[in-house]
Amino acid sequence: MHKRSNNGTTRLVITGGGTGGHVFPGIAVAEALAAITPIEVLWLGTDRKVEVNALAATDWKHDSLDVTPIKGTGIANKLKAVFNLPAAVIRAAFRLKNFGPHVVLGVGGYVSGPVLLAARISGIPSAIHEQNAVPGLANRMAARFADRIFVTYRESEAFFKNPRIELTGNPVRSAILNSVTTPSENKQDMPSVLVLGGSQGAAALNRVVSAALRNIWQSGHKVHIVHQTGEASAEETEAYYRKEGIEADVRPFITDMAKAYRQADLVISRAGATTLAEITALGKPSILIPYPYAADNHQEKNAQAMTEAGAAVMFLESDIGAMRLAGEIENILGDRTRLEAMSKAAMKLGKRDAAKHIAKELMSLAGRAAFSSQHYKKTGREEIHSHFAAPGS
């Protein structure tokens, strides 16, 4: 039986965040765990808007941790990040001590490293989840501290030396899982396209897709358009559609993604892991245009797996123009047999039980927790300092 607090509640710390790709899988796992047992959640992450907004609908505690990122910065900042690491781990250790978790889950992002190291030092069982085919730096580093590693793609296993790896897929939020439809169930009186501009490189994607949809409208083939642009591109995109006389539902951010997916016959998107997990769980055909500057080019690798399975069509941003994209959109939407084949292929890739699988494994880890309230009392600044102290110091 897993360890629980005196009131029968399991305490979970989720660490990571900063992007939807990190936040939404963590939310999905917590939802699945809450369906099994009463829980208390502390999210140790960042103060970025996407994270704050996503967690606002929950009653979980949310605390940001001041951590200096290592990747993508100059030499001076890298040295600063390494120098500041002990202090970050100490801060994380005291957050854990005050909350008293039974288990910690890292979902990626630079903030997760110090928390997972603090959990290891404090004797708290932990796990990480990797969303992409090519793991991020934070998870590659944090894997050495974790008791369990959950991965979305088989390809990412080669990057981890930890033998306790499980292929689970990427967790999807329950509201989206419950909105399963097929293209033939679309209720619009015309084909429906859902455009997900995302947060990275959204402007380039928004421009080429809106121009392609203009070409389709001008050819006389109207489509129902729901276009999520990101905040920076919302005004420009809406003005473009209005100028061209195109009816489009343009939003900076879609709150009810379940409804948006339910109405869509075709999704046009970047190839972030969370979006791909959602569209495969729902069996949605897609056109993917990977963000070309994603770390380790992981979006292109994500999209390749979809394309090879017949679930999607991939275009590199450098190769695609409005005319070519418009032609592909028309070809797919005009071929019901192809739409249904892509839908079935996507559904085969989907891992609808990923969140539940990970939740059960976290329960198992919590049950083997090698710590107690007395252990917490013994874990403090002195122990953390001694971990970083040089021999003989």
Say whether both 158 and 209 belong to one domain.
no
Q: Can you give the residue range of the structural domain that contains 149?
A: 10-171+353-388
Q: Is the pLDDT of residue 387 over 60?
A: no
Decide if 1 is inside a domain.
no
Decide if 287 is inside a domain.
yes
Decide if 3 is inside a domain.
no
Say whether both 372 and 330 belong to one domain.
no
Structural domain count, the chain = 2
Say whether both 63 and 34 belong to one domain.
yes
Question: What is the pLDDT at residue 264?
Answer: 94
Question: What is the pLDDT at residue 296?
Answer: 77
Say whether both 127 and 113 belong to one domain.
yes
Q: Is the pLDDT of residue 193 over 80?
A: yes
**Which of the four pLDDT bands, split at 50, 70 and 90, describes residue 156?**
confident
Q: What are the tens digits of pLDDT across the range 46-91?
A: 888 888 888 888 999 999 887 766 655 667 666 666 666 778 888 9
| Bigger pLDDT: 245 vs 384 | 245
Say whether both 158 and 224 belong to one domain.
no
- What is the CATH classification number for the domain harbouring 16? 3.40.50.2000
Decide if 160 is inside a domain.
yes
Decide if 4 is inside a domain.
no
Q: What are the tens digits of pLDDT across the range 5-62?
A: 556 789 999 998 777 788 999 999 999 999 999 999 999 988 888 888 888 889 999 9
Say whether both 323 and 363 belong to one domain.
no
* C-alpha 220, offset from chain centre: 37
Say whether both 339 and 361 belong to one domain.
no
Say whether both 194 and 318 belong to one domain.
yes
Say whether both 61 and 103 belong to one domain.
yes
Say whether both 159 and 32 belong to one domain.
yes
